[in-house]
Structures are given as C-alpha cells and as structure tokens.
Structure 1
C-alpha cells in the first residue's frame, strides 16, 4: 500500500488506473472514522475505472485505517492538509472530488484552495460546519494521558457507540466553518452535486439547505438530489446506484464546462 508522508506521519492512499480512456481523476474522501475500503469506495472504484474511464484514488486521513494511528492528535486542519497533499501529488486539471460526510466539508475546502486542480464536487451527506452540532451532543469523557479534555461523540455508525475526541478538535474546527462566514463559498464555481437524505440523523437538513443555496448561486452547474428515505451512510444498493449516476452526470457537466477537458 502506498503512503504519503508528512511530519513523520504516514497517510495511506490507493490508486486504481482506468481500465480504458483517461477522462478524469476521481478522488474519494471518506467520513470521520471511515476508511477507503467501504461500500461507497468499492462501488466508486468499479464504476470510475470500468464505466467512466477514470483513474480512482482514495485516502485515509491520519488516525484512520492504515495511516498513522494518531487520531486524538488530529484536527480538521490535519485532515485537510492530508487531502491537499494527495490532490497536489495527483496534479493535472481533471480532479473530481467525491466527499462523504466529513469528506464533503474537506472537499469544499480543497476546491477553495486548489481551484486549478479541483474541477468537480460530488458531496454525499456533506457535514459542512457540523462540528458545532457534534459538540453540543458530545459528553465529557475525562482526560487523556497528556491532560487534554476528552469528549464522547455519540454515533450509531461505530461499534463502540461513540467516537472519543479531544475538545480541541471542535475548537479548531470552528475556524474552518464555511456557512457561518458569509461569502466564502462564492469562490466555488466548479460543477457541484449534493446527495442527501431528509432522514439523515447526523447532518442537520438546514445545513445542507444553506449549502445548497450558496452553491446554486456560485457553481457553473449545480444539482441536488434529496432522498425521502435512507440514512446518513447512503450505502444501500439503491443509494450506491444513484451515487454512480450522479457522478456520471457530474463528469459530463465538468467536461462541458471546463476548457481543460476539451
């Protein structure tokens, strides 16, 4: 398995070459405590390489999967730096980022910081600015070996029933809010698609609606697909099929709207 390295830490990633053609690089960014081997990643890899003629990349942030096991030491800035390092290493001008939950928040920041590389966004249940809601739901969990305050973030999607984090994670994440600081997302002009369930039990619907309004005003081609059922994970068979259809539609809009793809 290949790794990126930064500050003595390993960042695991994968690359699967296109089975034919080379239209774009599809880059998958997973959610908090997720990895690059889940249902969405596997389906995206198959569809991107075999059906779309695209290279497929996926990333495991520090503290996740096979990357350096320093989860408690990480912040949103750490994980964003991981994403930017991968985006920079891919290079070119044909990157479409598929961000799931936390990955959607990071994908938006990457689009803002690397507009010459990121040409499309597929945001799956994007957890933009959701740290304020997570912090409100978290419970005190003592201190770690270095004296940092710990919080237990409730989650139905991990075996332990919750995710233990440092309080500093939320404090630092507040500096990366995109919806609370008006006007930041005006610079996200690439084609963008949101896929979200109105029954999502992690990301409040109001956040996604506000994000949708801002992207609709700035993106060259914006689309939102709101599911009447399902949950935050979006990993049912029908969800995966819809995800792939939306990715194909997004890629067509990217090809049509960007001279770099001519």
Structure 2
C-alpha cells in the first residue's frame, strides 16, 4: 500500500495522500463526508489500479483522516479547494473522478471548474447540494435557531457517530450548489445508486440525472444496496462503470 505522503497547499493545509503511477486517465477517488482514504472502496480501487497499471489518487480532505485541521472547521468549498490542489499538484493529463456521497458533489464541482481535464465521471450515491436540500430543508425552526445561536448542531447518522453541522458549512454550501444552474457534463458519466440507501434517496439520483446535461449519461439503480455500496457485487459495478467510461471517452 505504501507510505502516506503529504501535500502542503497554498491555503496552508496539509493533505494526506497515496498516489499510484500508471497510464491514464488518472482515477481520482473522492470520499464522503467524514470518510477517509482508508475506506473499502478507495483501497479496493487502488489495488485494482496497481494490478492494471492505472494511475490512481486517493487523499483525505482537510479535517478528515490523516490530513490537517478539524472537521468542524471545514466546508464544501474548503474541500473543493483541497480537491483542486491535489489533482493540480499530483496528477497530469485527463482525470476520471470517482466520487462517493459528498465526494460525488466534489466530483461535480471539479468537473464544472475543470471540464477540459475530465475524461469521464463516476459517482456513487452522489449527494449534490445536500447541505441545503438535505440538512437545511429538514431542520426544524428550533434547530435553525440553535444553529444561528450556537454556530452548530449535532445530527445522528445511520453510518457513523453523529455529525456536527456548523453554520459555516450551511452558508458555504449555498455558494457551491450545482442543481440550481445548468450543469453540463460533456463526457461519459455513470451514476450509481442503491435503493436501500438511507442517506441519499433515489429521488436525489434521479433529480441529478434529469438536471445535468451531457452526451452519454446513465443512472444505475441497484436494488437493496445501501449507502456504503461496498460489498463485492457493488465494487464490481464500480469497476464496470469505470470501464464503460474509459471505453466511451
């Protein structure tokens, strides 16, 4: 697996990463909120990349995993900066982002900012605009008052310890929304979504499919797959999606 390397960014952050050299497009795994690069999908894809001579990058956003900073200090925009810094410093040529959950939003932000570099895109339970459409839209008046007065609130999670959601994350998220304006994805795109996902609904996946425009875009719904999307059959579907994007790009 190799030793963790670190990248110092112009924003003063220290990002932990693992880079596998090989042929392109470079597969870049973008993890979810409070996830890290040691997750099942990230390590599985790195092993696949090494066996197949593919360039691959996995890294921790600031406030995640081995990278510097506290999670509660971060925001969607900060992690978009981290992604741009990582791919800018550590990769060359075309990219194939694979974004999971919040990483799907990050993949869309990367594609919007650098469309010329993106050869194709794969998302897994993508959660675009979740700070607004998921968190803020579901907050009670009491929670909104608590957020305003205390600067944060605590939310339970079906998949890990409770999330601390900050006022800054909500406010910054509004600057990063991708479903309120045209979203052109001019390359092969595969969206993967489990029907048993309790964190991201199938309606979110359909909304993204209907909103985005592009010449080669498919949504695959997987019956009974949950948000982790990391059992054997699901991992095989991720590889199949990467292969489809590769061949189509």
TM normalised by structure 1 equals 0.85
Following the alignment from structure 1 to structure 2, what is the Cα–Cα distance between the partners of residues 239 and 178?
Answer: 26
Residues 42-71 of structure 1: CA distance to partner in whole angstroms, max 9, x if unpaired?
1111222213x3111011000000001321
Deviations 1:106-152 (A, max 9, x none): 110101111121211100000011112123456859989xx851111
Check 1:143–1:87 CA distance in 2 against 1; reply closer, same or farther (3 A cut). same
Distance 1:104 1:193 in 2: 11
2:229 corresponds to:
234
1:157 corresponds to = 159
Match of 2:38, SS?
A: coil
Could you tell which deviates more after superposition, 243-252 or 24-33? 243-252
Cα deviation per residue 1:144-169 (whole Å; 9 max; x = unaligned)? 9xx851111221111x2x11121221
Q: Which residue of 2 aligns with 1:222?
A: 217
Aligned to 1:2: 5
* Matching residue of 1:257: none
Corresponding residue of 1:30: 31
| In 1: Cα distance, 2:153 partner to 2:167 partner | 6
Residue 181 (structure 2) aligns with:
182
Please report the RMSD computed on the Cα atoms of aligned residues, expressed in angstroms: 2.1
Find the partner of 1:15 among 12, 19, 24: 19
**1:122 is matched with which residue?**
122
Structure 2 matches for 1:74-153, cutoff 5 A?
Answer: 74-132=74-132, 133-137=134-138, 140=143, 148-153=150-155
Structure 1 ranges of 4+ moved more than 6 A: 141-144
Q: Aligned-pair distance for 1:8?
A: 2.7
Report the CA distance between 1:210 and its aligned residue: 1.5
TM-score with structure 2 setting the length:
0.89
- Residue in 2 that maps onto 1:245: 240
The alignment covers a number of residue pairs equal to: 241
Q: Which runs of 5+ in 2 are unaligned?
A: none
In structure 2, C-alpha distance between the alignment counterparts of 1:47 and 1:33, rounded to whole Å: 24
Q: Distance in 2 between matches of 1:172 and 1:23?
A: 33
